[in-house]
Amino acid sequence: MNPMKNQPFCLKTFFILFSSISIWGPLSAQSYNREQYSATKTIIIYTSEFQKNRALVSQFITKKKYEVLNEQLNSGSYELNFTAEKSETTSLDSLFATLGYITSSSQNNNNLKYTVKNLKNQIEDNQIQIERIKAKGAKDSTFQQKNNTESQINYYLDKIKEHNRTLNNIQENETRIFVDFDLRDEQSVPSGNSRITWAKMPGVAYNYLMVENPKLGISDEVYAGMNLKYIFTKGKSFFQIGVLKSQNANATTTDTLLTLAPQTFNEFFTVEFGQDFYTKHFGRGNRKFLNLYSGYTIGGMIPNKRNDENIGFIPVMNLSMGVELIKTKHVLLDARGSYFLPLNGINRNTRGILLGASFNFVF
């Protein structure tokens, strides 16, 4: 068998298949082609009243008679693609501003004039190809050659139809915008569906403790020291370990201090776990500067007396408020104030205000 005899048939089959893909592919995605609209508006909003605001958006779209292209509702998110007149942009922005905290908002304008010009050029090129194929096909003598020529002509005719459909869509949508809307449920506490985003951010912290009721023989007025602090989630959760040492300035030598108050705590070795939570205002953790947060730490300390007597492990809890002074993709500098509260019988003479600053970096 001569393989060349089947070549026109194979070529015909190729053009038929390619033509089918070209026709039906664009038709299935035609309504969702963002480039055929005057602009694309993308917005992501976090809301503490998810169900209420989801219903509000649905009612607004129904009232305005916007064309909904795609709608997807999950337990914690509501994704919506719809189209609206470009003149409605102000109304949409006013609605979005009332729903919650906008974490992302953008609008990209499409150059439809360039797209139309490009499509018309392609139509013209396809028409030229058809004329060339017709001229060449005039010399066809066999049935297979004529059939192959007809298939090629149909292929380019289908391409012209496709481009014309796109031009018609652009004419219909040249005053409309495509809106990609995403409403998300803002959860104030972790849930079973919460996603933990891990981080690797080692660093150091400096702490300054001012004892509220210092007492001779139990505690000094001020303790200070350094901690190693490791942030392991973007939440942000962390571990820290360090020591607070007495800053007593009334005596100059260790021997004098040991003689006057041998039972006084001269240092606290601390081990703690903590979590910080961003507020729903003042940055929500998304700004590069001045993100307000509150948090807690729980753990314990091993106090040491000046006579080296050890009284064992004492539970400790802190409640804190702080502000991230600088926050980038690579470094974090923050300051906080907290209330240092040992949970045992000596807490009255060891509790107090704890001020601190920390520096962490991505490892």
State the pLDDT at residue 261: 63
Those residues whose C-beta lies under 8 Å from the C-beta of residue 346, and which sit 6 or more positions away, are 218, 219, 314
Angstrom distance (rounded) from CA 145 to CA 7: 10
Angstrom distance (rounded) from CA 173 to CA 318: 59
Place 116 in a pLDDT band, splitting at 50, 70 and 90: confident
- Sheet with 101-109, strands from edge to edge, namely 67-73, 77-85, 176-185, 39-47, 101-109
Q: Are residues 246 and 350 in the same domain?
A: yes
> Taking residues 303-318, what's their average pLDDT?
89
pLDDT > 90? residue 21: no
pLDDT > 70? residue 12: no
Which residue(s) pair with 177 in the sheet? 39, 84
Place 52 in a pLDDT band, splitting at 50, 70 and 90: very high
Angstrom distance (rounded) from CA 14 to CA 8: 10
Alpha helices of the chain — where are they, by DSSP H? 7-29, 50-64, 89-99, 112-137, 143-173, 254-260
> What backbone torsions phi and psi does residue 164 show, to the nearest 5 degrees?
-65, -40
State the pLDDT at residue 6: 44
Q: Are 153 and 133 a contacting pair, CB within 8 Å?
A: yes
In degrees to the nearest 10, what's the CA dihedral of 318, 322, 327, 333?
-70
pLDDT, tens digit (0-9, with 9 covering 90-100), for 169-213: 888 888 899 999 999 987 654 444 455 678 899 999 999 999 999
Q: Are 320 and 296 a contacting pair, CB within 8 Å?
A: yes
Domain of residue 117 covers: 1-190
pLDDT > 80? residue 296: yes
88-102, 136-150, 200-214: range with lowest mean pLDDT: 136-150
**Domain ends where: 125, 159, 190?**
190
Place 282 in a pLDDT band, splitting at 50, 70 and 90: confident
pLDDT > 80? residue 8: no
Angstrom distance (rounded) from CA 53 to CA 261: 64
Place 92 in a pLDDT band, splitting at 50, 70 and 90: very high
Q: Are 93 and 105 a contacting pair, CB within 8 Å?
A: no
Report the range out of 146-150, 255-259, 274-278, 335-339 with the highest average pLDDT.
Answer: 335-339
Quickly list DSSP for 296-339.
EEEEEEEEEETT--B---EEEEEEEEEEEEEE-SSEEEEEEEEE
Closest CA relative to residue 235, chosen from 190, 300, 177: 190
Q: Are residues 170 and 231 in the same domain?
A: no
- Total number of domains in the chain: 2
pLDDT > 80? residue 334: yes
Those residues whose C-beta lies under 8 Å from the C-beta of residue 221, and which sit 6 or more positions away, are 210, 211, 214, 247, 248
pLDDT, tens digit (0-9, with 9 covering 90-100), for 236-258: 899 999 999 998 755 445 555 55
pLDDT > 80? residue 9: no
Q: Are residues 185 and 212 in the same domain?
A: no
Q: Are residues 20 and 154 in the same domain?
A: yes
**Domain ends where: 190, 208, 238?**
190
Tokens of 107: 């609008």
Q: Are residues 47 and 66 in the same domain?
A: yes
**Domain ends where: 147, 163, 190?**
190
Angstrom distance (rounded) from CA 300 to CA 268: 9
pLDDT > 50? residue 18: no
Q: Are residues 209 and 325 in the same domain?
A: yes
Tokens of 103: 């974490």
The CB density around residue 231, as the number of other CB atoms within 10 Å, is 24
Place 30 in a pLDDT band, splitting at 50, 70 and 90: very low
Angstrom distance (rounded) from CA 302 to CA 310: 8
Omega into 236 within 30° of 0, i.e. cis? yes
Q: Are residues 202 and 160 in the same domain?
A: no
pLDDT > 90? residue 341: yes
Q: Are residues 161 and 289 in the same domain?
A: no
State the pLDDT at residue 257: 54
Q: Which residue has the tokens 């070549």?
A: 7
> Mean pLDDT of all residues in the chain?
84
Q: Are residues 315 and 272 in the same domain?
A: yes
State the pLDDT at residue 23: 37
Q: Are residues 217 and 178 in the same domain?
A: no
Question: Domain containing 310 — which CATH number?
Answer: 2.40.160.20
29-43, 83-97, 300-314: range with lowest mean pLDDT: 29-43
Q: Are residues 221 and 89 in the same domain?
A: no
Q: Are residues 135 and 229 in the same domain?
A: no
Residues in the chain: 363
